[in-house]
């Protein structure tokens, strides 16, 4: 039975709260706000507390999440989030403090941020860290603003940033937002950066090359040393989008590959829940020559003083602030707890297991779907539904049919260089039994396409909401509620 709207559960006069007696002077709202700002005839649901709790509990069960079942959303690293990290973040010493408190009263929080920065420096092979950015895209923006500040300091005016044709959509968006012109470099027949093409594009007007490694096809850029030399010989910076860092921990460090700037996605690699839009955290690491441009403040440590940890605002070439205060602190706490619990051997094991899981899925499913790049993959891989499209079944239909089996679909139609793409990332969280179940469902769907394509094309069949007219839903979205519609 479909879940009703909260407004449909409303009953006149029903109330789910009680407020204490007012103990301060009262004023009419019209004495505080101008008349045109006061909303009249508000239509709000009147429900009891139990109605509210049951309604949103039912909705939470209907919604797919990583605690419920497999969530192979490529490039998103939807891994299981250990509940102990949530418990740590809820400790009063972390959850009840305020960012405007004096430094001497929050030494524990500052110590945590300092130590987290040190861990990220070691994992990334960088020299300095800012924890401020609240998402990977904001980390990208900070990195490109630092790039701009670096070239200005060197009295160079550069206007272009190179990105691969397989780049995440945030990359060109960040490039434009930071005032640069994005220039696309093609992939070669192996799905990697075409190094000869990169060489032609890289001149003295290029400020940076933004690269994800492994890339969005799940392939490691094996010519990274040549790429690094081309970029640096032109006086440009090499930026690494850290979205796929889950494949590298303890195996290779971005800084050792020649990257000058690296952003980390704490909400991906370091296991902070990020379904439903957040919260996120995108710390940015840089090499020593770029540290003076970091956003302020950065957390530093004094020697031989009682208040050892402090916020340093004294960076003369700082790009300023990327967001209020010091970053999404609750996310930082969870990432810190996760790293401490895993330790260096555990982080390496995470990456190795994610690689094994992805290659196991790829090797099994390539018999039933087209594999555009036949190569050992890293933590994720991309299949294509072009064989199924010949039967009139699109990748979108395959994704909808997976919902009938209770599994969240992979990322579809991305990266753009693969037709009918299915981008699958199992993460290290999944057991062999879980992977085998997903394989079983995918094989069933491939057979259904052969035997009964209409079944797949009309999916999903047993979800609370069936197939929508997606164009109509996106262009004619109506979320208003009128109790007595005209």
Which of left, alpha, beta for 454 (phi over 0: left; psi -120 to 50: alpha)?
alpha
Q: With CA atoms as reference, report the closest residue to 270 among 350, 378, 368.
A: 350
Q: Which residue has the tokens 């994610």?
A: 354
Provide the pLDDT for residue 484.
54
Q: Which residue has the tokens 């997903």?
A: 438
Do residues 386 and 398 lie in contact, with contact meaning Cβ atoms separated by under 8 Å? no
Provide the pLDDT for residue 486.
46
Q: What are phi and psi of 100, to 5 degrees?
A: -95, 5
Do residues 244 and 379 lie in contact, with contact meaning Cβ atoms separated by under 8 Å? yes
Q: What is the pLDDT of residues 251-266, one digit of tens each?
A: 999 999 999 999 999 9
- What own/partner pairs with CB < 8 Å and gap ≥ 24 does 108-112 have? 109/329, 110/299, 110/309, 110/310, 110/311, 111/308, 111/309, 112/332, 112/333, 112/336
Supply 324's token pair. 């209020």
Q: Which residues of the chain have pLDDT under 50?
A: 485-486
All domains of the chain in start order, with CATH: 6-62 (no CATH), 84-340 (3.40.640.10), 349-473 (3.90.1150.10)
As a whole number of angstroms, the distance between CA 162 and CA 202 comes to: 8
Supply 483's token pair. 């109790």
Do residues 17 and 49 lie in contact, with contact meaning Cβ atoms separated by under 8 Å? yes
Q: Provide the b/e sequence for 96-124 (b: ≥16 CB within 10 Å).
A: eeeeeeeeeebeebbebbbbbbebbbebb
As a whole number of angstroms, the distance between CA 432 and CA 468 comes to: 34
Q: Is 247 helix (H, G, I), strand (E, B) or coil?
A: helix
Do residues 47 and 9 lie in contact, with contact meaning Cβ atoms separated by under 8 Å? yes
Pairing between β-strand 181-185 and β-strand 160-164 as defined by DSSP bridges? parallel
Provide the pLDDT for residue 211.
97
DSSP 309: E
Q: What is the pLDDT of residues 43-77, one digit of tens each?
A: 889 999 999 999 999 988 888 888 889 999 999 99
Do residues 410 and 358 lie in contact, with contact meaning Cβ atoms separated by under 8 Å? no
């Amino acid at each position: 039975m479909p879940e009703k709207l909260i407004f449909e559960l409303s009953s006149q006069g029903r109330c789910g709260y009680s407020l204490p007696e007012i103990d301060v002077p009262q004023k009419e709202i019209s004495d505080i706000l101008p008349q045109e700002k006061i909303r009249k005839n508000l239509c709000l649901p009147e429900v009891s507390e139990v109605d509210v709790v049951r309604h949103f509990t039912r909705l939470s069960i209907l919604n797919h999440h990583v605690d419920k079942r497999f969530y192979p959303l490529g490039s998103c690293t939807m891994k299981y989030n250990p509940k102990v990290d949530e418990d740590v973040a809820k400790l009063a010493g972390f959850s009840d403090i305020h960012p405007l408190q004096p430094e001497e009263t929050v030494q524990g929080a500052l110590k945590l941020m300092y130590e987290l920065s040190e861990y990220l420096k070691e994992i990334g092979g960088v020299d300095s860290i800012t924890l401020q950015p609240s998402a990977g895209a904001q980390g990208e923006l900070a990195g490109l603003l630092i790039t701009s500040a670096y070239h200005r300091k060197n009295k160079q005016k550069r206007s272009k940033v190179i990105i691969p044709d397989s780049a995440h959509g945030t990359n060109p968006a960040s490039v434009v937002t930071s005032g640069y012109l994005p220039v696309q470099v093609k992939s070669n027949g192996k799905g990697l950066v075409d190094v000869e093409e990169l060489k032609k594009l890289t001149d003295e007007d290029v400020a940076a090359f933004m690269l994800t490694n492994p890339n969005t096809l799940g392939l490691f850029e094996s010519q990274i040393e040549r790429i690094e030399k081309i970029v640096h010989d032109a006086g440009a910076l090499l930026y690494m989008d850290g979205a796929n860092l889950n494949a590298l921990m303890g195996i290779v460090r971005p800084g050792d590959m020649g990257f000058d700037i690296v952003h980390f996605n704490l909400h991906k690699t370091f296991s902070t829940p990020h379904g439903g839009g957040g919260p996120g955290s995108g710390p940015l690491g840089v090499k020593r020559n770029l540290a003076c441009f970091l956003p302020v403040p950065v957390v530093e440590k004094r020697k031989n003083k009682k208040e050892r940890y402090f916020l340093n605002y004294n960076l003369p070439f700082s790009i300023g602030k990327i967001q209020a205060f010091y970053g999404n602190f609750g996310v930082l706490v969870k990432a810190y707890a996760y790293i401490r619990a895993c330790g260096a051997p555990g982080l390496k094991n995470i990456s190795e297991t994610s690689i094994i899981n992805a290659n196991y899925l790829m090797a099994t499913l390539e018999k039933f779907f087209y594999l555009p790049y036949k190569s050992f993959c890293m933590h994720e891989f991309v299949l294509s539904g072009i064989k199924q499209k010949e039967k009139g079944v699109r990748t979108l239909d395959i994704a909808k049919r997976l919902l009938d089996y209770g599994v969240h679909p992979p990322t579809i139609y991305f990266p753009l260089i693969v037709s009918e793409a299915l981008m699958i990332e199992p993460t290290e969280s999944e057991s062999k039994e879980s992977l085998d179940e997903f394989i079983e469902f995918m094989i069933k769907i491939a057979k259904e396409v052969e035997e009964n394509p209409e079944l797949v094309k009309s999916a999903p069949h047993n979800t609370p909401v069936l197939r929508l007219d997606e164009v109509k839903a996106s262009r004619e979205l109506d979320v208003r509620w009128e109790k007595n519609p005209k």
